Amino acid sequence: MTGVAFHRPSRLDDVLALLAADEDARPLAGGQTLVPMLNLDLLAPSAIISLADIGELRGIDRRDDGSVRIGAMETHARIAASAAFAGGQAVIPHAAGQIASPAIRNFGTIGGACAHGDPASDWPAALVAADARIEIAGSSGRRDVAAADFFQDFLTTALQPGELVTGIVVPPLAGRGIHHRFSRVDSDYATVIVACAADIAPDGTCNVVRLAIGACGPHPARSDTAEALLTGRMLEPALIAQAGQMLAEAIDPLDDVRGSAAYRRRILPGLIARALESLR
């Protein structure tokens, strides 16, 4: 193996300049997806640019308006253990604590996982359910994109060449949140993910609901009609089943080793019912 250059700048501008100057350079966050690709010879970067020393990519901070800003380099383990999240934002730490296994959670980062854009992974559904926004920086400037627009297709995101995820902003969300994942065993990718933030009154009336389905297609699925159907209504089993059917039609799953497309559609309404039941 020939030598691949390794850079570890301490300023974000230096990272962006290196990325702009060399389109074959790759930023390194926690390495839990980049390094497997290196080891499997799926990727041959000209240089690796570590983000470990960039201060503005750190921190899980609750802001005055109730939103939470998560630096891109925060690990799943730190997010899972954070007390910054309130109400429906609980979907975020709940998702973080279920990703892969402890060793991966200790080093894998939310920014790296977002940039990788694997629709089988946990963050896309959780962030879409939470109406999160993805902060992006490039050498030509900064922008932010709604999670629903960021996750576009298999391993394809709104990131342009030379751009970097710098953080995630989760808005204040009423009620409670759950990341309900169905997987064959702990540490495996999910067969189906139901990420949900909802405000359900004690009498069972649904005031607000956000439901995103993961691992069932090229990007997370939401259904405005299903959410509108539930909003303002008593969450009776028949109503939940009807919304579940709408989402089962909205997803676009593949047959794979974790389950057939038909199986995923079959189990989804029941998983949605369980998720909503847990939030009452």
Partner 1 sequence: MNPTFTVNGRSCSAPADGTATLLDVLRDQLALTGAKRGCNYGVCGTCSVLIDGVLGRACLALAADCAGREIVTVEALDADGTPDPIQQRLVAAGAVQCGFCTPAMVLAARGLLAVNPRPSRAEAAAAISGNICRCSGYGAIVDAIVAAGHD
Contact set with partner 1 (CB under 8 A): 1-6, 8, 28, 31-32, 35-36, 38-40, 45, 47-48, 50, 52, 77, 100-104, 106-107, 185-187
- For the bound state, the minimum distance from the C-beta of residue 30 to partner 1, rounded and expressed in Å, comes to 8
Neighbours of 92 (CB within 10 A): 31
CB of 106 to partner 1, least distance (A): 5
Of 27 and 217, CB closest to partner 1: 27
Burial class (CB in 10 A: 0-12, 13-18, 19+), 171: middle
Of the candidates 239, 266, 105, the one whose C-alpha atom is nearest the C-alpha of residue 182 is 266
**Cβ closest to partner 1, residue 2 vs residue 203:** 2
Looking at beta carbons only, is 50 or 231 nearer to partner 1?
50
Maximum Cα interatomic distance, the chain, rounded to a whole number of Å: 66
d(CA 34, CA 222): 29
CB of 198 to partner 1, least distance (A): 27
Nearest distance from C-beta of residue 112 to partner 1, angstroms: 11
Closer residue to partner 1 (CB): 108 or 214: 108
| The two three-digit tokens of residue 207, written as one number | 């005031």
* Shortest CB 192 distance to partner 1, Å: 19
Please report where in the chains the tokens 């009154």 appear, as a residue: 201
Please give the helix or strand (H or E) that residue 214 lies within, else none.
strand 206-214
Q: Quick one: 52 or 254, whose CB is closer to partner 1?
A: 52
